[in-house]
Structure 1
Amino acid sequence: MSKFKLYTLISAICMMSVVFYSFAGFSQSPQPHVRLISPTPASQLIPFEAEATTPQSPVKLALQAEDSTDKSLDNAKFNLQIFTPPPTPWFTTDFPIVEGTKLLDIETIAPKGQLEFQQILPIRGNYQLKVNVTPVVANAFTPIQQTLTLPVAENWVKYRNFAILTVILLLVGLGGGWIIGGRQAIAPGEMAPQQVRLLLSGVIVVAISALLFVNISAEVAQSQSSGHAHNHDHHDHGAATAAPVDNSGIVRQQGFQAQLLGDDSATVGKPAALQVKVTDENTNQPVQEVLLNIKTTQLEDGWVNFAYQGVPDTTGQFSWEQGFFDGAPHKLEVEISPQPNASRQFTPFKVQKDIDVEGVAPPFSVRFISLAYMTAFVIVGLLVGLRLRKNLPLHS
């Protein structure tokens, strides 16, 4: 090979290397992104506790849109979708119906590039936050599409209760195996000793009770859901006698008309479409220079499910989809207040309406698996008891 060809080959290799590393460096350079912010460390996030004795508050979360230099992107339009962790049939959560469903779908404008909200996280697992950020002003920055993961660990109380239940079931099986494995006299005409027959009778009673519980729990859940609605209506009637509250979802005050539109009822596991609209009562034109303080509250226990402060769009509306996980009535409440620099100042007022949430019983497979686990623990204890009785006989 001539020197000219050799130099040409070396030069081509060098140029290709430069181009390759340039592309690699460009692809690895910082890109616009969304950062998840939470005052509570991820290791301390726990799901909603249905039987908690202390008041529970929603988790405060914030999404910050930043450019490649970690500076906030102003005048950003957020579209956020939150999905609950996928189903775990073998280790179900407290609310299996909402596993793998949409918890929140919200679209809003963030003047400072930050979206803040509060949300109850009902179950353990990894929540998926799908974020789409676009500029309000065309070509102000490159649109961002990103999926964030928010891990939520199980409450340690669940593991403690599970361990206690496991020990109890193992001890029950161990005692049964010890009794059955012992030498016992069989009276004439009897198929088994009296202690064994009593033990088997007790096991049959427990099994029948468990099966009845498994099969009737769905009906109980449905009746409780209906009872919640009936009690809520009765409570509203009594409250109306003392202090009338407008739950129509329409309020006219100080020249404004505020309406709560969308679904009046919801089902656990299915997102409900909700909307608030503010117009000028005299001109019927949309009002934009207001702040909307949105809050949904579970009426029976009074805990807040979702809270957000935002502004309406150019049509005076703000829409979102929200999932419910508790089959009890909820109250949607929106406080309308003026923006700090608005030309029209007024006294804040509220509009509210009730949302009936229908509960859904867990699938039979989930309840059957739970029963199978309990039965397996008893059987393991029974086998251990039989083994111990056989290896360690008692001599009289």
Structure 2
Amino acid sequence: MNASTHAVSVSELTHHIKAILEGTFPSIWVAGEISDLSRPRSGHLYFTLKDETSHIRGVIWRGTASRLDVDLADGQSVFCFGDVEVYAARGTYQLVIRQVQLQGLGALQKRFLDLQAKLDAEGIFAAQRKRMLPRCPRRIGVITSQSGAAIRDFLQAASSRFRGVEIVVIPAVVQGPTAAASIVAAIKQAHRYAPALDALILTRGGGSLEDLWCFNEEPVVRAVAASRIPTVSAVGHEIDVTLCDMAADVRALTPTDAATRVLPDAKMFDRSVTELSRRLDRSMRQSIDSRRLRLNQIASRTGFRKPHEIVHLRSRYLDELDARARRAMFTKLRLDAAKLATQAASLSALSPLSVLTRGYSVTLDAVGNAIESTDVVNVGDTIRTRVHRGEIESVVKSLS
């Protein structure tokens, strides 16, 4: 058999499949859960419609999407009515949807909300538990897949932002059934490094709810919350919020954003150092100028220009004070002597001894008291009479 004679092209085979598939299935209602919803600027909606074991791509064209009264989101369980079509360009089949009805939350979304409520009640997501990232970390751990784009984006952003940091990449599986255990083991390993890590980043690129589900597993969320190292969760993109994002100390939107949040800005440091250098130089110059002016003022004083002149002036002033003190002292002595002489003369004039010089005398008893009356003496008592020059001792013979 000649293969070239009987072979069909890929396009022909695809068109045969398209004709058979689209002719076999009429318009149909399909129940499933929305995942990986995309809203490009064209206005079309692209998503995956899945159940527990299978999935199919779904598309809603712009005209139909504009008329929907349902606001679609990941995790919603829906009934979709449409036609099965083959996308010939890729050789895949898809469901072109014309109507959508909600049937409630999907299984994964419900698990997400139930676990969120449980952990929130325990305070795992409390703002009070959040820690500040170190301002200038020296060692950073990054938990991610070694082959993923996340680590390349992070390293590129880190290199352009700040180079003086050691980055330790801790490999982990970040998607699939083994991912949760792998991430928990990586977090434990991060705590065994010496010297200790200053910050820990858990990161991967975006994806559907299923792709990111390992970051919603309870063991992973608890490991992130229990980490002794300040932790940054950079899982997915801005629209992808995981429970790890809520449990981490800081949430970053992308791996690049994580590098921005953890690492200091080298350019800002350079500007700060330059500004501080200018301020220090300005302060030093002002201080030097101030001290030079003060020194010049001191140097211009007489004590530094003519030090001996001050000594001479002070010596002369001391001599003048000495002379004034002597004059004052002698004047004081003369005044006191004159005053003393005056008081002595007054005292002498009042003294009984002065009366004795004029012929008077004083009679005293045996103990030296002046006798003023005969009542104080008796016959036979010895008495003394004091005259101007000497004393006379007598014996009383009679009283009258």
* Structure with the higher fraction of residues in strand conformation: 1
TM-score normalised according to structure 1 size: 0.19
TM-score normalised according to structure 2 size: 0.19
* Structure with the higher fraction of residues in helix conformation: 2
